Structure 1
Amino acid sequence: MADEADQRSVLVEIPEPQAKVTERLRRSYMDILCSRLTVTHTCSRRLRSEERHACNESKHLMDTLLLAEQSVQMASGSLTSDLSLLLHDLHQKKTSVYRSIPYSRLGSNRDAHCYRKARPHLMAFWRACEEGGRVFERSGEWQKLLEFVQAASRLSGELPLWETSEHNSLRQRCYNTLAAFCTTALKKHTPNASRARGLLRRFRAAPASRYGIGSCLKELEKILQEHQKITLSHTQIHPSI
């Protein structure tokens, strides 16, 4: 009898299935499923955005690696005088100057604050002018040096002009450095009239200070006068031409 009572008590203590718990579990499952679908959709959009960003980053990385390789070669003195590579490097550094300027500000983007942001990139541009010129100077490739100077002075003229005149000193330093290379090259190599006029035009368009580029202007003016004399003499000898 005692065994039968114990069995009945055990059966009575077993709770019946609760419908509310089952319904709650069903709702929880649906919530989890919906949340996973939402996360999947969000991740898909994020992945597409990250793929586009990755493409841009990849291109930037390739440019960075190319310039880094060039810097290593330049530091070791083994850089070949590849004019297009050096000018590409210089163009990239000019682009970095403009990228560093915070254009989202409400005020001027040529003030002291923006200059401080751009200054490291301006210094890098000036160093590229100096290092590029040194490459051709060491190798004695005077024609290429003049081509580099002409292109680099054009890029220097495209650098931003700042509100404070002192902040434009790095721009002037670029012109002074290039003018010094130009003067050295002109003593070794006489360019044709077209290149001489192009160089003269670039340096005449430089900032107001003529201290660093005066000797270069004199050399170019002298060369153009010689070209004019040769042309005039040739015309007198062959008046029909």
Structure 2
Amino acid sequence: MEGVVTPDGGRRTRAALAEIPARLDRLRVTPLQPLTNTREQSPSLPAGYLSPAPSPDELLIQQRGRKRLPVTWSPDIETKRNSSFQSTIRTPPKNAGRHSPQKLGVTLRSTPRKRLLLGDVERVPLTPEKIDFSDLSTPQKFKITSPIKTPPVKRCKIEKTLELRGPIEVALKGLSPTQLINMIKTITYKHPDIEDEIRREMPVPDLAPLEEKLNYLKSNIFKGLPTSRLTSKTDSPAYSRVSTHLVAFKKCLVEQGKLLVESQHWESVIQYVFLSWSYVRATPVWDHQAHNAHRKQCFRALLNFCLTALKKGDLEKEFLIDVQDKLQSFVSDSEEVQTCLKQVQGLLQE
């Protein structure tokens, strides 16, 4: 029960379920209405806070709308549209059995791009029984031209010949060995008399540049060794520091020897062997026998060069005697020197 004050100033009571007076109807809440313009009702908020403006890309998408078919009818477009739904791959057969091998990841339908590229090309039957190979025009019927254009192949430039105005020895310095060989070969072909004169004037190969390279690479080996007195210069750590220099030394020695062998200057080949042998002998002898493989390979390569020169070269006996004396001093470095000594002795007995 709740007391209510009357206009007379008295006080009366009313029941809990008594009717609410009509003057309290003002407390009713009206239903929500959609806001038409939020910026007018809330001018203090910044622009685009409640409803941000669409981006330019979104406006273009809204204006573009759905893609429509062309108004004009074209037989090419209709044929292309109908052919795009046809698959160029045959429908696979039904499962032959449970244990039949199946390739995973193989798509049975062609991709849209492949259908577009092959839309204008004549369809080729994939089954060989449908192709008549007796017809001579069959390859022309099923010839497929790729729609992708390949760039044209660049033509090789023809070597230009310039008219020389300065000294010829200056111009020859800029040519490679291959260019010099081709030039001399062309001249001797045109003028055969000049070939005999070139053979008479041809000097012996100069071994000084070859020796200079070997000396430089050998010095790099000793520069890489440790300089401390407390560490060994022939152990495994020291070898690991100069292993790359040993490989470079062996590579240079073999390449220079092969070049002389190909030139067939046999006396120069043997002289190069004697010259290089002293540089190989000067390389360090390592504590671990496996680390001396480069040293043994260099000795073996030089002996092969020497043996080739002895077999193919027409050497004089005086020169062979000098070769025999020097080879005997190399026996302590490699046991394979005996093969060259036998070859020299056989040539001297003839």
CA separation of 1:78 and 1:221: change in aligned 2, threshold 3 A: farther
TM-score where L is the length of structure 1: 0.55
SS, match of residue 248 in structure 2: helix
Determine if contact 2:310/2:343 at 8 Å carries over to the other structure: no
Q: 1:164 aligns with which of 277, 281, 288?
A: 288
TM-score where L is the length of structure 2: 0.39
CA separation of 1:93 and 1:127: change in aligned 2, threshold 3 A: same
Structure richer in helix, relative to its length: 1
Deviation of 1:132 (Å): 1.0
Which residue in the other structure is 1:206 paired with? 333
CA separation of 1:184 and 1:222: change in aligned 2, threshold 3 A: closer
Determine if contact 2:303/2:340 at 8 Å carries over to the other structure: no
Give RMSD over aligned pairs.
2.6
Aligned amino acid, residue 117 of structure 1: R
Determine if contact 1:81/1:135 at 8 Å carries over to the other structure: no
Q: Distance in 2 between matches of 1:78 and 1:124?
A: 28
Q: Distance in 2 between matches of 1:124 and 1:179?
A: 19
Which residue in the other structure is 2:339 paired with? 218
Deviation of 1:221 (Å): 2.9
Q: Distance in 1 between matches of 2:332 and 2:344?
A: 19
- Paired residues, number: 149
Determine if contact 1:197/1:224 at 8 Å carries over to the other structure: no
Q: 1:179 aligns with which of 289, 294, 303?
A: 303
Any gaps of 5 or more consecutive residues in structure 2?
A: 1-175, 182-203
Q: 2:258 aligns with which of 134, 140, 163?
A: 134
CA separation of 1:163 and 1:219: change in aligned 2, threshold 3 A: closer
Any gaps of 5 or more consecutive residues in structure 1?
A: 1-72, 231-241
Determine whether 1:86 maps to 2:213. Answer: no
Aligned amino acid, residue 231 of structure 2: G
| Bigger mean CA deviation after superposition, 139-148 or 77-86 | 77-86
Determine if contact 1:146/1:185 at 8 Å carries over to the other structure: yes
Q: Which structure's relative contact order is higher, taking Cα pairs within 8 Å and 6+ residues apart?
A: 1
Structure with the greater alpha carbon radius of gyration? 2
Which residue in the other structure is 2:324 paired with? 196
Any idea what the Cα deviations from partners look like across 1:194-223, whole Å, max 9, x if unmatched?
122213422x1225xx4xx3xx52232342
Any idea what the Cα deviations from partners look like across 1:94-138, whole Å, max 9, x if unmatched?
111111101226221111111011111111111111011011111
Determine whether 1:119 maps to 2:243. Answer: yes
State the identity as a percent: 25
Question: 1:16-55 to 2 correspondence within 5 Å?
Answer: none
Q: Distance in 1 between matches of 2:213 and 2:179?
A: 17
Any idea what the Cα deviations from partners look like across 1:27-61, whole Å, max 9, x if unmatched?
xxxxxxxxxxxxxxxxxxxxxxxxxxxxxxxxxxx
SS, match of residue 197 in structure 1: helix
Q: Distance in 2 between matches of 1:94 and 1:131?
A: 16
Deviation of 1:85 (Å): 0.7
Aligned amino acid, residue 90 of structure 1: L
